Chain A
Amino acid sequence: MFEMPSGAEIQSIISTLKGGAGYFIPEIYLSVLFMVLILLDLVTGKKNRGLLATATIAGLLGSVYFIFKQQTMPDVQFFFGMYALDRFGIFFKYFFVASGILAVLTTMVDDQLKKHESGMGEYYALLVAMVVGMMMMASSTDLLMMFLAMELVSLSAYAMTGYLKREPRSSEAALKYLVYGAVSSGMLLYGFSLIYGMTAETNITRISMVLAAHGYDPLVMILTVLLIMAGLGYKMGAVPFHFWSPDVYEGAPTPVTAYLSVASKAAGFAMLMRFFFVAVPHGFDMYVSPLHIDWLSILMLVSAASMIYGNVVAIWQKNVKRLLAYSSIAHAGYLLLGIITMDQLGTQAVLVYLAAYLLMNYGAFYVVILIANHTGSENLDDYKGLGKRMPLLGAALTVFLISLVGLPPTFGFIGKLMIFSALLAKGSLFMWLALIGILTSVISLYYYMLIPLNMYLRESNTPEEGVITTGMGAKIVTASLMILTLWFGLFFQPIANYAKYSTAIFGAFLN
């Protein structure tokens, strides 16, 4: 029965919350930014797009300061163990802020959104809300908090997907996303409630302790793991929870597609790592039964299926956004490889791969947007002969695609190198997965190269027009992303070291 807490208890709760707030400053700051953006949209006139975008970027950049200040703080769990401040979370905070800034930059150049009649105030506000939600997904240590964070991300994402109200494709995408999202949230919640039923705990560290101390019914555990995997797999866009992604990616405004494919996927991975590494760290190898399936074996299958399905189906795509959607399913598969190894090196590789994916995938989408501004479509056929008409953008897109394939000297290669190193460091155990990964990346070369093939090797159907001009800002952004993709392909030491530093918190849980 629920009892009214006494005054002293309330006092202590308040003081705990006050103490915790000190560790929660970036999130508080961004929530304030969210409200400021809505207010700013209200008080300024209709032609406030540039102002809002600048304010969002400035605001997000400001949060870097607060995150930086957290780096010197000790690792703590606060808010009654609901939330953690640690290096792993900080890595992802930087990651999400960077992806938020890139999302604003891509939005600024997108013609579709520029022409959107009813203003962009809510859009930028939702974008910031999503950054907060993703940060919380990466840092939550409590089942309830995890669920809330994921819902915050999902709800913002639904609205952003359907932001082009007059565009039937956009609305359709939003609805599909919502339906799939609702089902998978339900599954996740069901899984969480089963865990709670088994352990009577919601904090993941304590869940782990209870599971280790008291054991569990393997059958229930399998069900739980499958349900949770379904919820997270949806966020990560891994097979067989991928069905929403091609349609949503194609229908959503392209900047939102890029944002979803990088940031929301990364948030799913962050949560997956924290939950499974901490709460169910060693599979359940101690309970061998005929029905024995541990979460690692499930992940292996999911990973293999994602790599194969994503890469093979992408071959037949005629629309570049759809092509990149399928490729992002495949990349989820590669990323899972790093988690499967269950060790420091694999986790480090995942973070490096995510950083690479941020740069190269954003780069690719950025150029795709710039091209769509001129051709009005994302069809492969309309890319014919573009290489000559836009030398810088063409070269940059080629670099991003090469990086997505994983060829040196690009950052994407380093990501693959680290992932495969982590697999082979385990000896021949994961050789079959490495082989699938390697062979599917050869397949991926074929479809990624379809884009340069059309741009450079084929002549345009309509022999017209000279060089396509883009704004200086767009050129600078493209060139910087390209240079970073190449630079980190040759000198990846700082990022790899930082990734290692960030994964150190799992030291005790991994082998």
Chain B
Amino acid sequence: MLSLIVFLPIIAGLVILAVPSSQKQIIRIVSLLAALAQGVLAVLIWRQYDPTMAGIVAAPGGSPVGSFQMIERISWISLDLGSFGPLNIEYFLGVDGLSITMVLLTALISIIGVLSSWPIQKQVKGYFILYNLLSTAMMGCFVALDFFLFYVFWELMLLPMYFLIGIWGGPNREYAAIKFFLYTLFGSVFMLLVMIGLYFSVTDPLTGHHTFSLVAMADQANYIKGAILGPDSVTWRYVAFIVLFVGFAIKVPMFPFHTWLPDAHVEAPTPISVILAGVLLKLGTYGMMRINFPLFPEVYQAGLYVIGVFGAINIIYGAFCALAQQDLKKMVAYSSISHMGYVLLGLAAANTEGMIGALYQMFNHGTITAMLFLLVGVIYDRAHSRQIDKFGGLASYMPVYTGIVIVAWFASLGLPGLSGFISEALVFVGAFTAPVTRPIAMVSVLGIVFGAAYLLWSLQRMFLGKRKPDALYDLEVDADGHEHIHFHDWKGKLDLDARELTMLIPLVIIVIALGIYPMPVMGLLTASINKLVQVLAPVAMSAVH
């Protein structure tokens, strides 16, 4: 089941390879079918998933796969390394509360991404092959429970993303694409060293051999004394934690490693922005929750304050930057940085509320930001510009569009009744509860104010008020005195068309529904988060040592 959901897109990619490149419609339909099938599978997995089982780590003396579900585990590579014992790499997939949330999000965003890619005309075949490759890699990252496998999927994302930004992107795409590539690779090569170091430091309790299994690595009892990342090797464990953290923080992106994100977003085509903000950024914080923190809990506990401070910087700095932007897409990109700061703050709280808030915020940010980028794409398609001050009074001409913009904008600033509110509120509850993060939380609250400022201000400037004299659209008054606007060389419908509505309406529904009744998602992750908090708690560690 999990293998299928991971590899469906790549199979679609292979099918597309056989389709002649002139058959653009067939290529699109194959991709859409694959994404839809992935969605169906995600729903099936969701129905089968038992939310009472926690996952995260194997119980002492229990099954080596822990309470993970939908396990697929076969030996992939088994080498004899002489004095180092056998090298075992497993094809090991499974889900717990952390990953199933992200699997659902990924499946949803993948469908939206395909729909949003429909108008792309340039090298359609190449585009969808890369898109499907990216889709497989993302899904694979979220369900892989073997570090090696995770790493393969993680690196596999880079190349398609590079080309998707680099070929189908905006004018400055070369720079943005290579910046993205170098930044992320810089983060992940250190991950490779840590991965190898962990391999030599951890044994599987059942076989006694070294292992890449993340489930085994999450249990501190499995670390060998005297190994490079063993329990007594304090310095190297700190170093390993920090470089892993930086690797994931680049993806989040956390200040000061965030500079690739605005560039990538501004240059990327709309669907790729949606994927980037909707799923890829989550991989950073997911990686922290799955790998970085549980593997080095004592360093995590020592670093809570620092993580919290960086979270606060992200929140406030991101909001300030967003406030200063003229380009709507850049504003949304910085708002992503700001909102991912809430996730970091929740993670720094190290308690159940904060962690649930963080994970729920990851899901909500995925859906809300996807909407924001789709909406930016809508206006860009029509006006070929995203300059905020070049619009004005759009509300009276594009009512449906404006309505959805209002939902998305308010969800993003955390209006009660919409999903973003619940997660941000939980993050703050968590952060205020924990003594370490309390002062940080007080400062971070300001972020909400600034968040409201840039969102409302842009809303006002673009949609309300009167048409600006140098606006990017022309007005025509017909015989009856009605005003009609038209954008230069835009032939389509002025307000949202059917395809755009198909992408946006489900997201609107999700954002509203989860704002009123969050349990469908929150129910999934509670047990796992409880377990995670327990694994990370200082008490659990002292029991081991």
Q: Which residues of A contact B (CB under 8 A)?
A: 343-345, 348, 388, 391, 398, 402, 407-409, 413, 416-417, 420-421, 424-425, 427-428, 434-435, 438-439, 441-442, 445-446, 449, 452-453, 456-458, 491-493, 496-497, 500
Contact of B167 among A407, A438, A441, A457 (CB under 8 A): A457
B-chain residues with CB within 8 Å of residue A398 when the two chains form the complex: 159
B206 adjacent to chain A (CB < 8 Å): no
Contact yes or no, A457 B77, CB < 8 A: no
Q: How far is the CA of A344 from the CA of B123 in the complex (A)?
A: 49
Counting chain B residues whose Cβ lies within 8 A of the other chain, the interface size class is 35 or more
Chain B CB within 10 Å, residue with most, of A417, A424, A449, A452: A424
| Closest chain B residue to A408, Cβ basis | B152
Which B50-101 residues have C-beta < 8 A from chain A? 77-84, 87
Q: How far is the CA of A492 from the CA of B199 in the complex (A)?
A: 18
**Stretch binding the partner chain, chosen from B173-181, B438-446, B452-460, B465-473:** B173-181
Q: With both chains docked as a complex, state the minimum distance between the C-beta of B200 and any C-beta of chain A, in angstroms.
A: 6
Contact A424 B82, CB 8 Å, known A388-B123, A409-B156, A453-B178? no
Contact yes or no, B196 A417, CB < 8 A: yes
Knowing that A446-B182, A453-B178 touch, tell me 13 more A-B residue pairs with CB under 8 angstroms.
A345-B81, A345-B83, A348-B81, A407-B155, A416-B192, A421-B199, A424-B228, A425-B200, A435-B193, A445-B182, A457-B173, A493-B77, A500-B81
A-B contacts, 9 of them at CB < 8 A, read A408-B152, A416-B192, A420-B192, A421-B87, A425-B84, A425-B200, A438-B192, A453-B174, A497-B80
A-chain residues with CB within 8 Å of residue B155 when the two chains form the complex: 407-408, 413
Contact A438 B189, CB 8 Å, known A345-B81, A408-B151? yes
Which B392-413 residues have C-beta < 8 A from chain A? none
B-chain residues with CB within 8 Å of residue A441 when the two chains form the complex: 189
Q: How far is the CA of A497 from the CA of B79 in the complex (A)?
A: 6
Contact of A456 among B79, B163, B200 (CB under 8 A): B163
Contact yes or no, A457 B166, CB < 8 A: yes
Contact yes or no, B193 A424, CB < 8 A: yes
| Closest chain B residue to A491, Cβ basis | B77
Contact of A420 among B78, B166, B196 (CB under 8 A): B196
Q: How far is the CA of A507 from the CA of B9 in the complex (A)?
A: 47
Q: How far is the CA of A446 from the CA of B162 in the complex (A)?
A: 12
Q: How far is the CA of A438 from the CA of B178 in the complex (A)?
A: 18
Q: With both chains docked as a complex, state the minimum distance between the C-beta of A227 and any C-beta of chain B, in angstroms.
A: 33
| Closest chain A residue to B154, Cβ basis | A408
Q: How far is the CA of A424 from the CA of B77 in the complex (A)?
A: 20
Q: How far is the CA of A207 from the CA of B154 in the complex (A)?
A: 50
Contact yes or no, B189 A344, CB < 8 A: no
Contact yes or no, B83 A344, CB < 8 A: yes
Q: How far is the CA of A398 from the CA of B129 in the complex (A)?
A: 15
Contact yes or no, B81 A442, CB < 8 A: no
Contact A345 B82, CB 8 Å, known A457-B177, A492-B77? yes
B-chain residues with CB within 8 Å of residue A427 when the two chains form the complex: 228
B-chain residues with CB within 8 Å of residue A453 when the two chains form the complex: 166, 174, 178
Q: How far is the CA of A260 from the CA of B236 in the complex (A)?
A: 41
Q: How far is the CA of A416 from the CA of B188 in the complex (A)?
A: 14
Contact yes or no, A442 B166, CB < 8 A: no
B262 adjacent to chain A (CB < 8 Å): no
Contact yes or no, A456 B166, CB < 8 A: yes
Contact yes or no, B200 A345, CB < 8 A: no
A-chain residues with CB within 8 Å of residue B162 when the two chains form the complex: 449
B-chain residues with CB within 8 Å of residue A413 when the two chains form the complex: 155
Contact yes or no, B167 A449, CB < 8 A: no
Contact yes or no, A408 B178, CB < 8 A: no
B-chain residues with CB within 8 Å of residue A409 when the two chains form the complex: 152, 156
Contact yes or no, A438 B193, CB < 8 A: yes
Q: How far is the CA of A497 from the CA of B87 in the complex (A)?
A: 11
Contact A456 B167, CB 8 Å, known A420-B196, A438-B193, A446-B178? yes
Q: How far is the CA of A304 from the CA of B333 in the complex (A)?
A: 40
Binary A-proximity of B137-179 (CB < 8 A = 1, otherwise 0)? 0000000000000011001101100110011000001100110
* Nearest 6 CB-CB pairings of A with B: A408-B152, A457-B166, A438-B189, A344-B82, A424-B196, A408-B155
Q: How far is the CA of A439 from the CA of B189 in the complex (A)?
A: 8
Contact yes or no, A402 B159, CB < 8 A: yes
B-chain residues with CB within 8 Å of residue A496 when the two chains form the complex: 79
Q: How far is the CA of A345 from the CA of B236 in the complex (A)?
A: 22
A-chain residues with CB within 8 Å of residue B126 when the two chains form the complex: 391
Contact A500 B79, CB 8 Å, known A407-B155, A420-B193? yes
A-chain residues with CB within 8 Å of residue B77 when the two chains form the complex: 491-493
Q: How far is the CA of A446 from the CA of B84 in the complex (A)?
A: 34
Q: How far is the CA of A438 from the CA of B195 in the complex (A)?
A: 13
B-chain residues with CB within 8 Å of residue A408 when the two chains form the complex: 151-152, 155-156
A-chain residues with CB within 8 Å of residue B151 when the two chains form the complex: 408
Q: With both chains docked as a complex, state the minimum distance between the C-beta of B390 and any C-beta of chain A, in angstroms.
A: 28
| Closest chain A residue to B82, Cβ basis | A344
Q: With both chains docked as a complex, state the minimum distance between the C-beta of B146 and any C-beta of chain A, in angstroms.
A: 13
Contact yes or no, A445 B80, CB < 8 A: no
B-chain residues with CB within 8 Å of residue A420 when the two chains form the complex: 192-193, 196
| Closest chain B residue to A492, Cβ basis | B77
Q: How far is the CA of A424 from the CA of B196 in the complex (A)?
A: 7
A-chain residues with CB within 8 Å of residue B173 when the two chains form the complex: 457
B46 adjacent to chain A (CB < 8 Å): no
Contact of B181 among A348, A425, A449 (CB under 8 A): A449
Q: How far is the CA of A263 from the CA of B301 in the complex (A)?
A: 52
B37 adjacent to chain A (CB < 8 Å): no
B490 adjacent to chain A (CB < 8 Å): no
Q: With both chains docked as a complex, state the minimum distance between the C-beta of A201 and any C-beta of chain B, in angstroms.
A: 30
B517 adjacent to chain A (CB < 8 Å): no
Q: How far is the CA of A419 from the CA of B7 in the complex (A)?
A: 30
Binary A-proximity of B217-257 (CB < 8 A = 1, otherwise 0)? 00000000000100000001000000000000000000000
Q: How far is the CA of A409 from the CA of B153 in the complex (A)?
A: 8
Q: How far is the CA of A344 from the CA of B79 in the complex (A)?
A: 13
Q: With both chains docked as a complex, state the minimum distance between the C-beta of B201 and any C-beta of chain A, in angstroms.
A: 10
| Closest chain A residue to B149, Cβ basis | A408
Contact A449 B178, CB 8 Å, known A409-B156, A425-B200? yes
A-chain residues with CB within 8 Å of residue B199 when the two chains form the complex: 421
Q: With both chains docked as a complex, state the minimum distance between the C-beta of A355 and any C-beta of chain B, in angstroms.
A: 14
Contact yes or no, B156 A442, CB < 8 A: no
| Closest chain B residue to A444, Cβ basis | B185
| Closest chain A residue to B191, Cβ basis | A438
B197 adjacent to chain A (CB < 8 Å): yes
B118 adjacent to chain A (CB < 8 Å): no
Q: How far is the CA of A425 from the CA of B193 in the complex (A)?
A: 11
Q: With both chains docked as a complex, state the minimum distance between the C-beta of B161 and any C-beta of chain A, in angstroms.
A: 12
B-chain residues with CB within 8 Å of residue A416 when the two chains form the complex: 192
Contact of A438 among B177, B181, B190 (CB under 8 A): B190
Contact yes or no, A442 B174, CB < 8 A: no
B-chain residues with CB within 8 Å of residue A500 when the two chains form the complex: 79-82
Q: How far is the CA of A492 from the CA of B182 in the complex (A)?
A: 27
Contact of A442 among B78, B152, B177, B189 (CB under 8 A): B189
Q: With both chains docked as a complex, state the minimum distance between the C-beta of A412 and any C-beta of chain B, in angstroms.
A: 12
B-chain residues with CB within 8 Å of residue A343 when the two chains form the complex: 83
Contact yes or no, B197 A424, CB < 8 A: yes
Contact yes or no, A493 B79, CB < 8 A: yes
Binary A-proximity of B525-545 (CB < 8 A = 1, otherwise 0)? 000000000000000000000
A-chain residues with CB within 8 Å of residue B197 when the two chains form the complex: 424
Contact yes or no, B79 A407, CB < 8 A: no
Contact yes or no, B185 A445, CB < 8 A: yes
Q: How far is the CA of A416 from the CA of B166 in the complex (A)?
A: 27
Q: How far is the CA of A462 from the CA of B100 in the complex (A)?
A: 50
